[in-house]
């Protein structure tokens, strides 16, 4: 497999970064994960916007020209012999002296990884498991998709390696927050519910896309701060992320749920499938492109 590293496409066996990279030493880095469908990087513009905001927060300068990055994605897909791929675009502070840096990072380390994924992701069901570990608070005002991933790693260790479960984080106050690597939604009485960014969740691109889809489909939405007990009254529950798309939940505690047979899961998945091969941004959906 090949990857892009600081201007070059290299084989993974030849890729290397400095031990003095501040992404390694201090976690000074952010990343985005997204998918390509038949070569198209779905919602790339939104992923780059979020990446740019994270880089600004970390004081890291990097070239995020959309057309240039599309070209890199295309070239790397060709080199890897892929059309449908998992992509991780990673930017860290780059090589610096040891010590906490207060001035801007001007020489970032930029990496694009890819791996093969199937064209269509079936609606694979998972069980939702309430975590004992609570969601930590963001390092800054809003949670970044950063290298600071211990809270997520510890949560995954708590539930184990099963691919059929996803942990559900509660906040320190006991409010519903998000999954370990996903955002959380549920439906009750024809309304769609999801926790607010005020809970400290990562504002996922797929989360934002689902909210825009709901608006387009005239599905009522409530975004707010919710108690654990509220989701246990749901008609449907699902998780979202940019790689697994929509993940239906078939069970939480002793409560059985319709999983992939859920009405709203089916409607939203159909719409997701409709747009994923050509949309560049959520704004295009709002404009009816």
Residues of the chain with pLDDT > 90, as a percent, come to 97
Ramachandran region of residue 38, left (φ > 0), alpha (ψ -120 to 50) or beta?
A: left
| Cα(111)–Cα(107) distance, integer angstroms | 13
84-93 pLDDT, tens digit per residue, is 999 999 999 9
Q: What is the pLDDT of residue 137?
A: 96
CA distances for 173 relative to 1, 199, 225, 230, angstroms? 44, 9, 10, 15
Return d(Cα 82, Cα 37) in angstroms, integer.
Answer: 10
What is the pLDDT, as a whole number, of residue 122?
Answer: 74
Position 47 confidence tier, pLDDT thresholds 50, 70, 90: very high
Bridge partners (DSSP) listed for residue 247: 239
The runs of H, that is alpha helices, within 92-204 are 150-159
| Cα dihedral 111, 85, 126, 162 sign | negative
Per residue in 101-150, pLDDT tens? 999 999 999 999 999 987 666 799 999 999 999 999 999 999 999 999 99
pLDDT digits (tens, 9 = 90+) for 209-245: 999 999 999 999 999 999 999 999 999 999 999 999 9
pLDDT mean across residues, the chain: 97
Q: Domain boundaries in the chain?
A: 2-116, 126-286
Nearest to 32 by CA among 144, 141, 120: 144
- pLDDT above 90: residue 288: no
| CA 58 from centre of chain | 19
pLDDT higher than threshold 80 for residue 259: yes
CA distances to 38, 164, 166 from 86, in Å: 12, 20, 20
| Alpha carbon distances (Å) from 119 to 58, 116, 282 | 35, 9, 21
- Looking at domain 126-286, which CATH architecture does it have? Alpha-Beta Barrel (3.20)
Minimal CA–CA distance to 53: which of 205, 168, 245, 267?
Answer: 205
Separation between Cα atoms, residue 68 and residue 44, nearest integer Å: 12
Q: What is the CATH number of domain 2-116?
A: 3.30.470.10
Q: Tally DSSP H helices, then E strands, for the chain.
A: 8, 15
Angle 282-246-65 (CA atoms, 0-180°, nearest 5)? Answer: 35
Specify whether the CB–CB gap between 75 and 9 falls below 8 A.
Answer: yes
Please give the model's pTM, rounded to 2 decimal places: 0.96
Region of residue 195 (phi > 0: left; psi between -120 and 50: alpha; otherwise: beta):
beta
């Amino acid at each position: 497999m090949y990857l892009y590293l600081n201007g070059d496409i290299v084989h993974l066996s030849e890729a290397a970064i400095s031990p003095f990279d501040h992404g390694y030493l201090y976690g000074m880095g952010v990343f985005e994960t997204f998918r390509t469908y038949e070569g198209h990087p779905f919602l790339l513009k939104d992923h780059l916007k979020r990446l740019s905001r994270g880089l600004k927060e970390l004081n890291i300068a990097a070239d995020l020209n959309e057309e240039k990055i599309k070209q890199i994605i295309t070239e790397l897909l060709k080199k890897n012999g892929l059309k449908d791929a998992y992509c991780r675009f990673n930017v860290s502070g780059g090589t610096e002296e040891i010590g906490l840096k207060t001035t801007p990072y001007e020489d970032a380390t930029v990496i694009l990884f890819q791996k093969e994924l199937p064209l269509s992701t079936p609606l694979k069901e998972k069980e939702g498991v309430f975590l004992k570990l609570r969601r930590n608070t963001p390092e800054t005002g809003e949670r970044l998709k950063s290298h600071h991933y211990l809270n997520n790693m510890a949560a995954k260790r708590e539930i184990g390696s099963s691919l059929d479960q996803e942990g559900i984080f509660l906040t320190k106050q006991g409010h519903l927050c998000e999954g370990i690597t996903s955002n959380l939604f549920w439906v009750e009485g024809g309304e769609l519910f999801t926790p607010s960014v005020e809970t400290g969740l990562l504002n996922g691109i797929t989360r934002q896309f689902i909210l825009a889809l709901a608006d387009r489909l005239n599905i009522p939405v409530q975004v707010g701060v919710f108690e654990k007990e509220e989701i246990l009254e749901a008609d449907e529950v699902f998780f979202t992320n940019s790689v697994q798309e929509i993940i239906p939940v078939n069970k939480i505690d002793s409560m059985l749920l319709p999983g992939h047979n859920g009405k709203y899961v089916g409607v939203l998945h159909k719409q997701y499938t409709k747009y994923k091969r050509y949309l560049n941004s959520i704004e295009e959906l709002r404009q009816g492109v």
